[in-house]
Structure 1
C-alpha cells in the first residue's frame, strides 16, 4: 500500500567484519576465561564472554515472568556472570546486569575469536531459506515463523536446509551457531530490473496467472490493460500487474472493490480506506498509476526518484514496508521466472501518451444493500460524526457520543449505516456501530448459516468487551456450536498482535512478542508456536470477513475470557 504520509529514508552502510577480540576491546568487556558461581553457590564452568545470536529480552530475573530491562539485538557482546540450572545466563552489558535465556547466548573462549553476528537488514527478526531452487524470505525466527514469501531463484551458493541472513548490501551470511559466515552477494534480479524495460509477456500470460491463483478476481480479463499501460507510459507490464496484485489482493480488497483503486493510491497509514482515492474504473486506476510511477518514481527528474528506476529505488519512498520490493519481485517471478535473455539489449521505453484520467470525487450512493426491520437498535462504540449522506465529505449534523443508542434503518454497500436519532435521519460509518439488536428476527434465506445466532436478523445479539471497552465490528459476532466467532483483524489487533493474511491458503497468522498463532479457514486445527491445537469450531468466511473463535484467540494471546450468557456478552481481560 502506498503511504505517502509516512515516507522513510534508508542509508546503505557497508558491513565491516571485525574479529571478536576487536569488538570486545571496543565495548570494554574484559577478554579471558573466568569461573562463575550459580544461584545456589555451585561452581559453573564458563567463560566471561558471549555473543547474542538472535533478538532477545534482557530480564530482571531468570524467567519470563520477570520484567524486561531492554532488548538485545543479534551480535551483542555480553559478559557472562553465572548460569542457573534452568539454562538462564546472568549477563552484564553496557553496565547493566540482567538475565537471558541460554538458547540465545553463544559462550566463547579466547581461542575462538570468530563469532560474528551481522547487522541484519531489515532489522526485524527475519531470515532466508531455499526450497526447490527458490529463495524465500521468512519473517520471524526458524523456531517461530510468522509469514514467508517467494523472492526469486536462489543463487548456487545458497543451499537447502541452511538459514541465511543478509545485510543492507545483499551480502548473504549463513547463520551458524559459532557465527555468521559470508557465502556471497546476491541481489534478486527483479528487485534491480529497470522497470522502464518492456516485459516479454502477453495479456493471456497475466490473465492465466490471475485466474489460476484467484478465479473470482475482478482482474481476470484485464491483462491487456497492463500491456496498454506499458505501451503508453513506458512501465514494465509484468511489474505493474504484480504491483496491482500485491496492493489489492488480486482486486478483492475493500479499497479495490469500493474505489476501483488497485494500488492503494493516496492511502495514508493513519486512515487507508478513508484517505484512498476513488477512480471511475479499474482501467483508470491502472493507466494513472503507470503514468504516476513513470513520471515521479522511474524518471530521474521525478520527485520521488531514488538512484535507480527499480523496485529497490521505489521502496525508499513508495512504501513503509521494508519487504515491499521483494514481495512484488516474488509475484513477478511467479508469473514469469526471471531470464536475463528477456532483457538483453533492452532500452527504457518512452512515454508516448498524454496524462490519463486520474482520481475523481467519489459518488455518494445512498442505496441500501440491507434494510432492517422496524425496532432495530444499536449503539455507537465511540464518538462519531453524524452525517447527512454516507460519505466523509457530506454535511455533518454533529457528533454522536460513544454509547449513543440509535435506531438502525439500513446499511449501504460501503459499510455506512442509516440511523435515526431524535427524529433526525442520517448516516454513521459502520466501524462505529455495534450491538445491533433486531426486534423482529428474519430468516437466513441461504440456509448456509444454520442455527448460528448473533447475525443481523437474530434477536440474540452478541457483544464483545475488552477490559471494559465495547468492541466494534463491521460484521457482528456470531455463535455456533456454543462458540463465539468474531472478525479476525479487530480481535487480533486489539489484543496487541500483528496480523498477516495469506489469501492463497486462507491462513491468518498473529504475532505478539514471541507468541505466534496460526489459523486456517475451514480447519479445526490451529497452531500456537508451531504446536497443533484442536478447535471446537473452525474459522469461517462470512460477508467477505474471516471470523475466528474468540476464546481460543484471546487465551492463546494471554488473555482471560468469560461468557455472560444472560447478557449474551463476551468479556475479555488482559489486565
Structure 2
C-alpha cells in the first residue's frame, strides 16, 4: 500500500503564532540569563534539599549550600548571597556584627510581556500540557519595568530586618548553616518584587508515562518574567502561593 503525504505550507496566522511562541521563549530565557531553562518536571527534592527555580531557570545548581525546609518554623531557607545576586543585588557581610546587607539598585528595563489577546484572560493563555502560553491567545507587548532602589539589612538570629531604614518583623530570623547565611526565601524574594510558589511533598507534574513528579520545590518569578502577572497554570492551580 502506497501512502502519499501532502505537505501544506503554514498559513500567515500560523506563521505569526509560531513566531510569537518562539519569541516568548526567547524573552523567558532572557529573564534568567545563565541559569538554563528548567521547569522542574523531574526534580524530586527533600526537606534537606529544596530545588529552587528562578523564572524557570535552575538556581539550585549554583548553590554551594542547598536550600532546606526549616521544620521548626515551617519556612524554606535559602543561601542569601546566591539568591540575591541572581536577582541583581549586591551583598556584603559584616563578620563582627553577624550582619548581611543587601543592596538592590534601581532598575529600569524594557521587556516583552505576554498579554491576553482580545476575548481571552490570563487563565486562558496556558496550555495544560505544555505549560506554555497558547500563541493564538496572547500577544507580545513591550513594557518598561522599573524596580526601586532598596537596602535590606539582616542580622543572624535577630527576628527583625531593616528595609530602607524601617524595621520589618521576620517570621523566621536568619541563621548560619555550613558557614552560609540562610534566610526565608519568601521574605527576601518579595522584598525584591518577586512572587514565590512552594511545592511540598505532593508532586504536581504528570509525566508522559502517567507518573507524577516534582516535589519539594520553590519557584520564584521576578517582574521581568514575560508572564509575571500569571506565571504558570500548574503553579497557580496546584502549588501554594505563600
Q: Does 1 or 2 have the higher relative contact order (CA < 8 Å, sep 6+)?
A: 2
Larger Rg belongs to = 1
